[in-house]
Homo-oligomer: A and B are copies of this chain.
């Protein structure tokens, strides 16, 4: 099933052409526009076999050919010429990151950036911050029996949660508590996972007997169930994907709509498929998620201070410009890593 050189050339031409026009590619178009010095008949002959081997398919007998998922896969792995972003595009990206933003804002503009550059759906998974060191913790009373707890980590993440307090905690006592803890945080490196346990131990040591009421521990227990710590997803360019010609038919569109609304489904899919390599391309039916099997997904992991932290990606029709998508996703993830590591 080895493809010979000529078949590869033709496959590359078909993919290239289909990516730009979204219309089935005929033998005569290849002959005319790709200077292969071959007659249409010869090209047809090769296409015939490319179809037999499942790299191409036809919507009907008298139509041109369209790449299959396998065809795209072969193209991405073997034929595609890796391009790099132009200098002005790079400059534009850097420009956008130049102003200091806190984490939330940074995530948001990254998804906007991806969507704007690729004209597809931009996806950003917030960093998993289990390894983050806790910088600061604040307890602020709001109303009666309620405390707003804010945790700031060394990557600049701000988590907040509103907590019901069963007993009575005065403002002074709360600030005493947060001061105690903040001092501990300066002495030791405490990550967000250990926080609960360490806090308990430390507080046992520090607090006097009568202060060691149970509700303080219940309260801390409560504090640390921050839902928002994981699964935060940022999407931008939802409408880009809907404007693609392949989703003209409402039925096909409907299928994808659910994905666009249910951010977490997409996020989990990306999370599951993140492998060893930095950049990953998932083409059509390679995805286990039925709803996006007419789409491809290009993802890249990003780092914070060298450690893998999260991922960004682009979702678009399988007929996407893989080379360009990859270079954008790669460059943006590099810059994002830089920015986040600066904190």
Q: Measuring CB to CB, which residues of chain A are less than 8 angstroms from any residue of chain B?
A: 100-102, 104, 135-136, 138, 140, 142-143, 146, 148, 150, 152, 154, 156, 158, 160-164, 171, 186, 236-239, 242-243, 248, 250, 253-254, 257-258, 260-261, 342-343
Contacts and interface: CB of A to CB of B under 8 A. Distances in A.
B152 A158 contact: no
Which of A142, A161, A238, A343 gathers the greatest number of chain B CB atoms within 10 Å? A142
A282 B148 CA distance: 38
Given A140-B135, A158-B150, A343-B146, A261 B239 contact: yes
B238 A261 contact: yes
Given A238-B260, A242-B257, A243-B254, A156 B135 contact: no
Contacts of A257: 239, 242-243
A155 to B, nearest CB: 8
Given A243-B254, A248-B250, A257-B239, A138 B138 contact: yes
A148 B152 CA distance: 9
Contacts of A236: 261
Nearest to A341: B143
Contact of A142 (B142, B237, B343): B343
A145 to B, nearest CB: 10
Secondary structure at chain A's binding surface: helix, strand, loop or mixed?
mixed
Given A100-B162, A140-B152, A146-B343, 18 more contacts: A100-B163, A100-B164, A101-B162, A102-B162, A104-B160, A136-B138, A136-B140, A142-B156, A143-B343, A148-B158, A150-B158, A236-B261, A237-B261, A238-B261, A239-B257, A239-B261, A243-B257, A250-B250
A205 to B, nearest CB: 23
Contacts of A239: 257-258, 260-261
Contacts of A100: 146, 162-164
Contacts of A242: 242, 253, 257
Nearest to A146: B100
Contacts of A343: 142-143, 146
A102 B248 CA distance: 41
A161 B106 CA distance: 12
A309 to B, nearest CB: 16
Contacts of A158: 148, 150, 158, 160
A160 B102 contact: yes
A137 B230 CA distance: 26
Contacts of A237: 261
A242 to B, nearest CB: 6
Contact of A162 (B135, B156, B243, B248): B156
A110 to B, nearest CB: 15
A154 B141 CA distance: 9
20 contacts: A100-B164, A102-B161, A104-B160, A136-B138, A138-B150, A142-B152, A142-B156, A142-B343, A143-B342, A148-B156, A158-B160, A171-B186, A236-B261, A237-B261, A238-B260, A238-B261, A239-B257, A242-B257, A243-B257, A248-B250
